[in-house]
Structure 1
Amino acid sequence: MYYPLNSCLILLLIFSLIYNLPCASSKQGFGWCETTQFQCGSITAGFPFWGGNRPEPCGHSSLELRCNSKKITSLNISNYEYNVIHINKTSNTLRLVRADFVGSFCSATFNTTTFPPEISELPIYNSLTIFHHCNPRFHYVSSYTCPGGVVVSAYQNPIYQRSCQENFTVSVPRTYSPGEKQLNLTLLESVLREGVEVTVNTDEITCEECSSSPIDHYDRCSQPFRCGDQTSLLYPFWVRGRQDCGHPEFKLNCSAGFAELTISSVRFRILEVNYESHIIRLARSDYIDNLCPQDPLNVQFTESVVRLAGIEMLTIFYGCKTLSVLIDHSSNYNVRKLDCVGDQKGITNYFVTRNNSSPFRGNNEGDKLSSLRKSCKSVNIPVPLSAFNTLRPDNLKKTLEQGFELKLNQDCSMCLESKGACGYNQTSRGFVCYCNGGTYENNCSSEKRSPVTFGKEIRIVSGSVAGVVLFLVLLTLFLRFLRKRKIRLRQQKLKALIPLEHYTYAQVKRITKSFAEVVGRGGFGIVYKGTLSDGRVVAVKVLKDTKGNGEDFINEVATMSRTSHLNIVSLLGFCSEGSKRAIIYEFLGNGSLDKFISGKSSVNMDWTALYKIALGVARGLEYLHHGCKTRIVHFDIKPQNVLLDDNFFPKVSDFGLAKLCEKKESVLSLLDTRGTVGYIAPEMISRVYGNVSHKSDVYSYGMLVLDMIGARNKENANLASSSNTSSMYFPEWVYRDLELANSGRHIENRINSEDDDLAKKMTLVGLWCIQPSPVDRPAMNRVVEMMEGSLEALEVPPRPVLQQIPTSNLQESSILSEDVSVYTEG
């Protein structure tokens, strides 16, 4: 059908104007949002919250309220569950308490949680640091020993804090005092159970789902997305920004490295999705590597979306006192015992399957199971039919971990076969098929179009008049729309790849007070000091290279988002807005290590402090190489990229050159040289020394350790060569000192007898790490063992023999970091 050009232009103008309306206008368009409220127990909530019968377009995507079986309202914040105690609609405040703080403090998760920008803690609270895994020798000082021997303390004394391995912060009223001589754990538990008052900053809440055309829905929903280890995901699954592409009950959580969804308060891990066969395979997360979860729940699947395929229901009974009514040879059921850790005496658990070898004996058996369900807690779990009859105690765990299959309903299958994109209509609250050119109710071969089709909107505005001036205005608006749409799609893909808090450039400016305080400069950007809305001090690195697709930026953010370790800098968020890119991470008050070992600081570190820093860096690299699901090779280990907190606790930073690789890969393929001159492994410059691998980080670490012990003292450089153009001379002097048993000549002139072992151990480990051939270097897990072990167990390594490789040999195409501090205290 042909429509007048003027009508199309006017439609485009109207659409462009609607697209830029504020959230309030969009909100008015959703009529049901005004009448539908979230209700759970005594809690009633409207905008900006959603959940329950209140659909997501009625609120902000991160403010989903949930109601459990006990009528307790909860809110998920930064992957932690908070119980909502009270909501004050007048002041936009609510009282929250972390769910793991409701019970015993010792059973809580010892992690710091932060609020997103749309939620701010009221200024009546202080941040209290809790220390745990403390040295037992300090038991008498304000501490408490939890079951299992974990010593916790809230004693705010820097000297005592150094005896504790880990810490986290909690919010407490300003009137609360932790005490100096005794930790009153009962009082602390009482304070934490009262929760905190927070306010909802509606100014920070932007429109998540303003009006968009069916063509936008088709473009977005026909493009698969990635979540954790699952790629090419479509309906019924969705993540933030794809609300109209999936069923409301199938929202995914991608933060743990795999795709997970919650149905009826039970989490399921996605194992496989096949849209050709329309089969989805799930496994219950609480039963992965665990046959006895706490308080397991039954699940009712939404059959309008998916249906169970080829399964039988396995019944597990927990906390039973007896099962003698079913244990007989004539029973229609196989009853097998299931052992759980911590079972009380006289309490047993069982799982029940059908006994096909015995004839069914009628309702009497059903009556026995019915009476059993009244005396025990039971849970039904889908199991593949092919495995159900062969379940035994030795294969039950593996069978449940392999999951069960669901089949997509016929509507979505027909839509996919007709080249459409499956979605969900927020207005009609039902399935919809998006097509290229309009929206259909069932599939793209249907002749019946829905009331919201693009064609109908065109007919509404047909006959309107537009002139040449209007055409030029519309053309400008159209180009602007295309540019914004391109940026929005790119940001959606980036958010799907990196499950972290996303900040706008305007928010970055507010955080840094318009980039007022510079704390460091590096090869990839400038670091500014900033403050989040909750008062936390952060470091904000703004990339200076805005050319291309920002591969270094995406590389660093994607790499750091996969890490969580005490010796790795914590990434808090990122900004990607056109050519403006920034990374927000924790602020460490003492800056980088280089200023302490280069004489730029008035602080003189003793050997114990240097040893602890070297050991912490080794543990961080061990985690990157061996602790992550995918190995991370840093490629730029140097003093400038080791940051120190107020207690001189080290953390590895700056992942701009990092590379991901599978653990089974022993060789990395690189088209460029990565690193900083003086710390680059020989094989990075010339392949005659061997292949590039994670052992390249080991070499850089060895150079860092030798640098720390003073082996690269520039005053002694003339002993090795008068043309000190390469950092590869100094190991020769260190080795000569070891041979002459004169550790004080070039390493350090003031080593006392107590520190001599630490200095020699660091020297030996450093020399082992800088062996020219990668195969001769120890892996980082072995390095940690060497650093933690005894000096007597260490052998003197072979003398490193390296030819001088002038820096002029490094190609201009190589990626070399600037040898300046990436992060120093301002």
Structure 2
Amino acid sequence: MSVFLVFTIFCLLYFAVLGVEIDDCKPTRCMKHGPTIRFPFRDKNRSPQHCGYPGFDVLCNESKETVLELPFSVQVAVKKINYVLQQVDLYDPEKCLVKKLPHLNLSTSPLQFLSTEKWDFILVNCSDASRRGLFYSFPCLGDSSSHFLAITESEWDNVGSLDLTSCTRLHKVYVPYNVRNEKYLHLRWSEPACSGCEAKGKWCRLSSKSTSGGHQIQCVHKPNTTRASMGPMVGGAALGSCLFVTILASLVLLYISFRSERQNHIKIEKFLEDYRALKPTRFSYSDITRITRKFSEKLGEGGYGIVYKGRLSNRIDVAVKLLHNSKGNGEEFVNEVSTIGRIHHVNIVRLLGFCAEGSKRALVYEFLPNDSLEKFIFRSAKTSLGWRNLRDITLGIARGIKYLHEGCDQQILHFDIKPHNILLDRNFGPKICDFGLAKLCSKEQSGVTMTIARGTMGYIAPEVLSRTFGRASYKSDVYSFGMMVLEMVGGRKNVDPNVKTSQVFFPQWVYNRLDSEFGEDFWARVEDGENGSIAKRLTIVGLWCIQWSPNDRPSMKEVVVMLEGSEESLVIPPNPFAATDGTSSVAGIIQGRHRHHQIELPSIQESEYFSA
């Protein structure tokens, strides 16, 4: 693969250099004797954008006339281009140039009238043919019953005793005086200034130093006919060689990819065959397309796929996660369906169905309108949750994890508990989601073997990162839960780079004040009465859950008891941290918590609906 990539880069570099020699901006014509089209003009249908200057685009119509596009969609044909004098003569292919005048506005065009003497003309429509002798008429605009005349504004103001009751004023145009007597419109341009290059016998083109803020030009030699004819031959031979090798390498890679994808497909189909008794609804890919209305409403995107909003035929809103083909070799899909597909709990998101059709895989979940917990608990949240809501949400999450650990035939270890993976229903009831990293193990096992660390930094238990702290087990989910609870209490990430070094690790900062001489003042200022008690209870539970040793952490069953019991029964846990002396004002932080229902510290927000 790396050799193929290097070869492809080499080919691209080669043709980039070759492109300097082989000019892709050669002059063109629409017809044999038509005007030559070259810089600053370009044929927009045949030449790259860098071959021309903004405002000078032309095209060839069906009659092979050279048509210039002016502002406001005005199109006129080009009769002649003088590149030395920087002038262009235009005409109307329909032989009625005056018809274009009401729509002609050159204020935004690099092209301007050649004549600097311009007049205000008024176009009038007269039903009386006798009026035609008074002013300059335009037969091409009228018919037997209407006659169009052009009158200068001064003539209009001085018509005096003339009877113009049969005439209707139409438009006022500001054009050179002689335009009403000629078939051609003469324009000039000052930018780009190429007359100097033309005087030296050279041509003009955009400089490679041009930026989005401005366009620079440079003089270049006229192309050499012999050299230009050899270029395609040399380039063609080199291109042929590169294409042959590239196609051959692509075929080999496609074969390898096809074989790998086929193995993944067989793996998933075998799993689904074994899973028939418990499987949710299986959808076809056409069903998924219909449910999501052709993937019209995107909810979020992450490492494993994109999530779209959809609706089932029974008017139930759903969230559809379309999995990336390159992620997990089917492991994400199998983990989700094998774990969440077999359980039903009020605090676990429900898997309604799935799709496995060739390389296309999707998961269909119940739709939860309030997005994730992460959206509400940090300082930047537009809507904050009160302490009672935080308590109820924490208890619901704890019950959901307890069910995963104890309520199924096998233990389900989530390994990615964090605010982003807690979704909230219409009544802010929590539901655990995203089982892509989950593992199944028997309840008799003391732990599971981890080949690589699983989870999100900041929530990963020490034993998941290193066997020094023990084996990964259900206690690893307890640790992640504890970190999340402390974030809910503090309203900030557990590691915040924007605070002083001695206060960076928030759980340690809280513990140092939990039982200090400031402790009573700390909790009293959170909010009076019941809310202060809730904050203290959640903090103590969170600190118990993040003990370094898995043996010192409670089970989720014990956590539920602690959350439902009385405050007097709670015991402050051992200190798992090194002693620090935080110096910031406790009162200031607590007052911020009182104002916003969460401590006023920066946070990092994610926009994904699931950690897809």
User: Normalised by the size of structure 2, how large is the TM-score?
Assistant: 0.50
Higher share in strand: 1
User: Normalised by the size of structure 1, how large is the TM-score?
Assistant: 0.37
Higher share in helix: 2
